[in-house]
Amino acid sequence: LGAAAVAVYKNRRVLYPGSAPDPDFSEPLPEGSLGCPLIGNLSYFAKMGDTATGPGKFFRWRASKYSNPRIWKYSMMGKPTVVLSGMNALKQVFNDEFNGVKTGVISKGFTKLFGGDSLLFVDDAGRHKYLRRLVGSAITPEAVQAAMPMLIKSATEQLDRINVVGEPVEMEKILTSYTLDVAWRVILGLDLHQDEYQTFYDAVDDWIGGIVDPRVTMLPGMEKTKAGKALAYLVSKIERKLDSLEDNGSDGSTMSGMYFARDEEDPSKRLTRDEIISNSLLLILAGSETAASTLTVASLALGLHQDVFEKLRDEQSLMLERHPNGEMTRSMLERECPWLDVVIKETMRIKPLAAGGAIRFAQETLIVEGKQIPRGYGVVFNPYLTHARDPAVREENGMDIVEAFKPERWLNDETKPTEYMPWGIGPRFCLGYNLAQAEMKVFLALFVRKVAAYEMVAGESVEWKRLSIIPKPKDGSLIRVTSFSDGS
């Protein structure tokens, strides 16, 4: 073993390419292990998640081993990568996107699954600004307000499935159906028949399943997997819709907005078909998986904390008194529902993205937290680790949904969290933020108007799924409604 260790050390530049410190800087590399030569940390796959803590266990486990858990290194598929958390370090690095760091990919399969022409992978600052202008013009606050009737329609249809007192209901299924309805109705503007719904739902589920499965993204033959076939189905739907928009004109959908958008700086420029397809896929992921998972966790949190649920009901009762016709607009939800807002904030504080966003690569050697990140190293952020070490959150188990779910902390400047980044950071801050917020607020508002009381079937015994982009309860948040509101 000793001889092997000596051999590895002598040949480290060959066995661990690109991992050496920059000799022009005196600062040391971050703590951490690069795992097996040319392969990386196999524990990443062995510790992807567990039922006690959910996905992202590898990052929590490794961070706990180091003197500074806000900066440490590991290796994914032989690529040395630094994991950062904490808003100071994150702002320093990711606010300098396109200069100090740029996005990149470890796997071509991952790029193909996501769509290579999406905002996620563009590494040129000018091109990124151009895409954000045109894609963003389709999801402005005004565009989201125009979509409100469709959001309400989709939420109401799914809530109609919750109609029997005492019958167990898996909220994840309800909420996934809701956000996928929003995806095909609002984002894509498709005209699906009822017998097509499940085919669309299954395709999105298989596609997202491939995104979180390293076997799909890292190994060759992605096109032949379930995820690859699902991607082909979704792309075919988008392409047919684009043909329809060309023939019939605008229909008010997000994709329609992208198709007919013209650059304000040069009206002759418009998005290409590939750019529309890639960014439509990105919005489906952000608008369905993120919103569905967050709402699923919120339904669990409200079932565990009846006092919070009652305050949310009281807020909606007051809103109905002010608007007895049941009118609901985006501005009403923003202006009149502070408790609704902080329930979502607290849910996303406790259960943000399990890992982080797309990997970036250092374009120059960076000095962060007294450590060097050499040019060429991968750099990723971690929302969970950022939230978990927020000095404003004083509970010992501040990320526990049973012990520390306290939306009221957001309403007091003394207790308001200061380390918070569920929507990303820097120039790549989530472009679909307004739509996702409206999507979640509409459902929760209508949910508490209909359901007067419910309980969690599993009680306070919470287990989590091992693999998901955002943590979700293992039982899908199984609830039992004990009473409905009058008239529901």
pLDDT of residue 455: 96
Predicted confidence (pLDDT) at residue 4 exceeds the cutoff of 60: no
Buried/exposed 130-159: b ≥16 CB within 10 Å, e otherwise: bbbebbbbbbeeebbeebbebbbebbeebb
Instruction: Tell me the average pLDDT across 473-483.
Output: 95
Higher pLDDT, 46 or 412: 412
Element (H, E) at 478: strand 478-484
Contact 103, 360 (CB under 8 A): yes
Predicted confidence (pLDDT) at residue 186 exceeds the cutoff of 80: yes
The per-residue pLDDT of the chain, averaged, comes to 91
CA nearest neighbour of 348 among 441, 456, 280, 285 = 441
Helix (H, G, I), strand (E, B) or coil at 33: coil
pLDDT of residue 140: 93
CA nearest neighbour of 365 among 378, 355, 356, 375 = 375
pLDDT of residue 411: 96
What are residue 103's phi and psi, to 5 degrees?
A: -70, 155
> Residue 316's pLDDT band (boundaries 50, 70, 90)?
very high
Quote the percentage of the chain above a pLDDT of 70: 97
User: Any idea which of 220-229, 383-392, 436-445 has the lowest mean pLDDT?
Assistant: 220-229
Q: State the angle between helix axes of 171-182 and 141-159 in degrees (0 to 180), rounded to the nearest 10.
A: 140
pTM: 0.92
pLDDT of residue 487: 55
pLDDT of residue 488: 53
Element (H, E) at 307: helix 306-322
Give the whole-angstrom CA distance, residue 221 versus residue 110.
12
The string of pLDDT tens digits covering residues 324-334 is: 998 999 999 99
Predicted confidence (pLDDT) at residue 1 exceeds the cutoff of 60: no
Torsion on CA atoms 240, 241, 246, 250, rounded to nearest 10: 170
Burial class (CB in 10 A: 0-12, 13-18, 19+), 469: middle
Contact 282, 115 (CB under 8 A): yes
Which two tokens mark 75? 């290796």
Torsion on CA atoms 149, 154, 155, 161, rounded to nearest 10: 140
User: Any idea which of 218-222, 302-306, 312-316 has the lowest mean pLDDT?
Assistant: 218-222
Instruction: Tell me the average pLDDT across 293-320.
Output: 97
The string of pLDDT tens digits covering residues 110-123 is: 777 777 788 888 88
Q: Which residues contact 334 (CB under 8 A, 6 or more apart)?
A: 341
Neighbouring CB atoms inside 10 A of 476's CB total 19
DSSP3 helix / strand / coil % (the chain, rounded to 5): 50, 10, 40
